[in-house]
Amino acid sequence: MSSQSSRPDLIPQTTADAAERDYFFENPPPPALEKHSGQAKEFIDFHAPAGRRVVLVTSGGTTVPLERQTVRFIDNFSAGTRGATSAEYFLEAGYAVIFLHRQFSLQPYSRHYSHATDCFLDFLHEGPDGSIVANEEYQSKMLEVLRRYNSAKKQNLLLTLPFTTINDYLFVLRSISQLMRPLGPDGLLYLAAAVSDFFVPPERMVEHKIQSTNATETQAVPEQTTKEQNEEETFDNFDSSPTVPRSKRLIVDLDPVPKFLKNLVDGWAPEGMIVSFKLETDPEILVRKAQYSLDRYQHHLVIGNLLSTRKWEVVFVAPNQSDTWIRVPRRRKKMTSSGIENMVGELGDKPLDPKDLPEGEPEMEIESLIIPAVEELHTSHIKRTRGTR
Ligand code: PMT
């Protein structure tokens, strides 16, 4: 790796500056960075003079490669539903959308027909003249989705840019948010991607596929040595399953990925509104963690969500405002004297218990409530920023 002395001369003012300088110096830029930055610049330059609001929506999970020639990587659960659905509602609200998404995750509009349990070919049949026809029962929805998609494309309102690894994501996030500066407060960053907190730094990453056996090694290991090694490994404190020799297991040593939210707020896009998401699995800590994130990074809104209930409810945590839960109506069957009837779930200030939720997906997309609420806060942000100039 490059030596410390050849780092850029920039003198970091804060720990966040130093983390930024080190990360972007030590990790190589992705090959597509220039191309994607060029596309983003063109898109922003197109919309900025018209005074249109532009949102950067990040979506899907980032991979963490374990090898340079990557065979294995660490990934996470995110399919990009939140990001792709939100992007559609932002378009409906008149925003121009840069959709920075994990390659092959869900995308606005096409999400209605991809990643589904039904194969998309099941929506189609062959017409008498050999043309392809959508099945009758799907036609009206498909036509509506197609029209909305074509309208977004025709007006150049949607730019989709893919990423795969955590490194791709961080480089392109920095570049696009810096390009968004000319938008001032009209820029909105909506960070819904599930970004890895850990990675293998380049100096520790092996070039080739990590081997599971040493079968290709030609020299035989003396029996005595192997026995001694195994015995030694049995007494290794680090070893949680001493029956498997350490040499046969894969122990992955990851470094923390710097959080660049502070850099986003202070330097990359200082006037834009920044919305981050906080994902937790433990309802007891969600709001506290969201508040901590807001205090630490001093941005404008944290949307908290729990893995098990994220399609049913989220909580808005914003400075100088009380926490607001947003929920879609849940219908559940309830026995009454007149039989079984539907009931809309009650509201409250505590997270829902997943056990109380009906099976399957909610009837309403929660993003249809999230985006108008974000838009309202964005309007206040624009007024506040412009008013104080
Ligand atoms: O795709 P779906 O299946 O619909 O799921 C949607 C979602 C649950 C992934 C989404 O709603 C969500 O919560 N996304 C953020 C998850 C997350 O990464 O949370 P976090 O606590 O690790 O990070 C908080 C914020 O910091 C995020 O906005 C993230 O973009 C940012 N971050 C995270 C890690 C990192 N190294 N740098 C960052 O800037």
Task: Tell me the CA–centroid distance for residue 279 and ligand 1, in Å.
Answer: 6
Q: Express each pLDDT in 226-276 by its tens digit.
A: 555 555 555 555 555 667 777 788 889 999 999 999 998 988 888 999 999
CB of 189 within 6 A of ligand 1: the answer is no
Task: Tell me the CA–centroid distance for residue 120 and ligand 1, in Å.
Answer: 29
Residue 340 has pLDDT above 50, yes or no: no
Share of the chain above pLDDT 90, in %: 71
- Reported residue count of the chain is 389
Q: In this predicted structure, what is the pLDDT of residue 117?
A: 73
Neighbours of 240 (CB within 10 A): 8
Helix (H, G, I), strand (E, B) or coil at 273: strand
Provide mean pLDDT across the span 172-177.
97
Domain at 39-121+151-202+255-386: CATH architecture: 3-Layer(aba) Sandwich (3.40)
Give the nearest ligand 1 atom to 77 CA.
3
Rounded-to-integer distance, Cα 226 and Cα 232, Å:
10
Residue 333 has pLDDT above 60, yes or no: no
Exposure b/e, 306-326, CB count within 10 A at least 16 = b: beebbbbbbbbbbeeeeeebb
Q: Which of 186-190, 198-202, 210-214, 236-240 has the lowest mean pLDDT?
A: 236-240
Q: In this predicted structure, what is the pLDDT of residue 381?
A: 96
CB of 194 within 6 A of ligand 1: the answer is yes
CB of 152 within 6 A of ligand 1: the answer is no
Give the nearest ligand 1 atom to 257 CA.
36
CB of 170 within 6 A of ligand 1: the answer is no
Residue 151 has pLDDT above 70, yes or no: yes
CB of 167 within 6 A of ligand 1: the answer is no
Q: Measuring from atom 34 of ligand 1, which residue has the nearest CA?
A: 195
Domain ranges of the chain: 39-121+151-202+255-386
Is this prediction's pTM over 0.85? yes
CB of 328 within 6 A of ligand 1: the answer is no
Neighbours of 233 (CB within 10 A): 18
Long-range contacts of 255-258, Cβ-Cβ distance < 8 Å, separation of 24 or more: 255/198, 255/199, 255/200, 255/201, 255/204, 256/197, 256/198, 257/166, 257/170, 257/195, 257/196, 257/197, 257/198, 257/199, 258/16, 258/19, 258/20, 258/22, 258/23
- Would you say 255 and 198 are in contact if contact means Cβ atoms under 8 Å apart? yes
Task: Tell me the CA–centroid distance for residue 287 and ligand 1, in Å.
Answer: 15
Q: 373: left (phi > 0), else alpha (psi -120 to 50), else beta?
A: alpha
Which candidate, 244, 241, 214, places its Cα nearest to that of 230?
A: 244
